Amino acid sequence: MADSSSRNAGREHIGNRIAGPAGGKMEEDHDAVNLAADWADISLGLRKALGQQLHSQWIKPIQVGTICKETSCLDLFLPNEFTANWVRERFADRLSLAWKIARPDLSNVRIEVLPGRRQLPELRLGQGGRPSFPANDSLQTGEANTVPIGSGEFGTFGQATITLDPSLTFTTFVTGTANTLAFNAAQRVAAIEPPQFSPLYLKAATGQGKTHLLHAIGHAYLVSHPRGRIFYCSAERFMVEFVQALRANQMIEFKARLRGFDLLMVDDIQFIIGKASAQEELLYTIDALLAEGKRLVFAADRAPQALDGVDQRLLSRLSMGLVADIQPADIELRRAILEHRLQRFTPADVPADVIEFLARTINRNVRELVGGLNKLIAYAQLTGQVVSLQLAEEQLTDILSANRRRITIDEIQRTVCQFYSVDRTEMSSKRRARAVVRPRQVAMYLSKVLTPRSYPEIGRKFGGRDHSTVIHAVRLIEELRTRDADMDGDVRSLLRQLES
């Protein structure tokens, strides 16, 4: 950031040009100028840290408010709820830290929506009861795509908005053997040409990329069909809309609105289980849209045939197109996802062994994998620490423990003995021959890395050795891995065997 003397000189120069009445007004103007100068410095620093693209998309739209004299709280404003939530979740700590460095007397930084921007547009029914929507002008303005969906209070028929996440596109979706079919099918649905199959049914466990593909389909469809109308919601939201319309005696409008869309996407369809009336309405909507050649996409955590409590007619519609299964990401895909994600954190320096560690250890779902990387890099940047294997183990304890398979010390000893061709009894023997000591030390190191056992507990499993012996072994293997490629290769091979 700029040094304080140049910043103060700039403020003085600008302040001299302020015209207006003396007293409070002049003081307010000076405060605004000072805040603007601070924000210019902070924004410049964030642009260097985040890169031009992220800065332009999320930081540049921020408008600086005023500091409350009673609470010493500064308000930062964004144009809509979506961008405010996004910045609040991902950059709040960084913004707060930067402002407190610039202004040590600041107590808090709040990220809010610009006053007057919360009002949502009104939905109007056109001729024949068909809904009339504003054009998708956001494609031309560069703002996030706001897609109309049905909503409203009881007794009304208004419009809520859902914003497609600008980061969830086909370009940012990393493909591998586990998700290639679903990816290609999703691209086909969004293309200009009518798809050969409809509906598309995406089946995947939590955090494997279903929602990413739904957002990507929406983005690509609006590019190929600029005047297209999209309905995207969860099955739960669909049922809420249905019940509200039923109670408000607005079922005719509800039906007309649903059938006026060109692309219908419903996420988490498994939550429509047991709702007979909502299922029937969805069934009729699917039939009507298919008859008009419209496009439909559904997503769930299980196959259509596994949806208990769903009308058989609806099941047949859901499975009549293409059911694309997204398998859990394998190790190669997890590595690729981490490498791709790192591009957003330039100039973050994450060593290869940390990437390998995360890819091997966080294997339940992609969302946890990316979340772990985000947390690690954010912590390192906010505290000024270097990203390392030790830091990852310290800061990602909860995520790592939830993903790790329960590996026992006995299993580790058995695997190490097979790898080095030594007898199992040598793990507890007093022999100090190098051919025996080194495998024993590796086994102690792996026991500390892969199990929650303490040093004394590990020592007892290795012939009643003192905890200091285990500490020495762990530190020695850690050091050898940094300077001995053969040792590092051995440990990696053993980790693969034990974690597979």
**Are 167 and 216 part of one and the same domain?**
yes
As a whole number of angstroms, the distance between CA 249 and CA 280 comes to: 17
Low-confidence residues of the chain, pLDDT below 70?
1-31, 116-163, 273-274, 345-348, 402-405, 499-500
How far is residue 276 from each of residues 237, 280, 379, measured CA to CA in Å? 15, 6, 48
Q: Assign 274 to helix, strand or coil.
A: coil
CATH number for the domain spanning 428: value is 1.10.1750.10
What DSSP string runs through 68-119?
-TTT-EEEEEESSHHHHHHHHHHHHHHHHHHHHHH-TT--EEEEEEPTT--P
**Beta pairing, strands 200-204 & 322-326:** parallel
As a whole number of angstroms, the distance between CA 85 and CA 180 comes to: 31
Whether residue 118 lies inside any domain: the answer is no
**Are 107 and 157 part of one and the same domain?**
no
According to DSSP, residue 200 is labeled E
How deeply is 389 buried, as exposed, middle or buried, from its count of CB atoms within 10 A (0-12, 13-18, 19+)? middle
CATH number for the domain spanning 356: value is 1.10.8.60
Q: Which has the closest alpha carbon to 311: 278, 285, 267?
A: 278
Whether residue 119 lies inside any domain: the answer is no
pLDDT tens digit string along 294-322?
999 999 988 998 887 788 899 999 999 99
Phi and psi torsions of 490, nearest 5° = -60, -45
pLDDT at residue number 154: 21
pLDDT at residue number 29: 54
Domain boundary among 301, 326, 351: 326
Please tell me the total count of domains within the chain: 4
As a whole number of angstroms, the distance between CA 141 and CA 152 comes to: 27
**Are 416 and 376 part of one and the same domain?**
no
463: left (phi over 0), alpha (psi -120 to 50) or beta: left
CATH number for the domain spanning 17: value is 3.30.300.180
As a whole number of angstroms, the distance between CA 280 and CA 314 comes to: 8
Integer Rg of the chain from CA: 29
**Are 20 and 94 part of one and the same domain?**
yes
**Are 321 and 337 part of one and the same domain?**
no
How far is residue 9 from each of residues 17, 19, 36, 457, measured CA to CA in Å? 13, 18, 14, 64
Whether residue 186 lies inside any domain: the answer is yes
- Give alpha helix (H) positions in 191-275: 210-224, 235-247, 251-258
pLDDT at residue number 335: 92
Domain boundary among 284, 306, 326: 326
Domain boundary among 113, 136, 155: 113
* pTM (2 d.p.): 0.54
**Are 19 and 140 part of one and the same domain?**
no
- The answer to whether the CB of 163 falls within 8 A of the CB of 319 is no
How deeply is 79 buried, as exposed, middle or buried, from its count of CB atoms within 10 A (0-12, 13-18, 19+)? middle
CA 267 to chain centre: 17
**Beta pairing, strands 230-234 & 146-151:** unpaired
Which structural domain, as residue segments, surrounds residue 98?
A: 4-113
Q: What residue type is 477 in one-letter code?
A: I
pLDDT at residue number 162: 52
**Are 18 and 135 part of one and the same domain?**
no
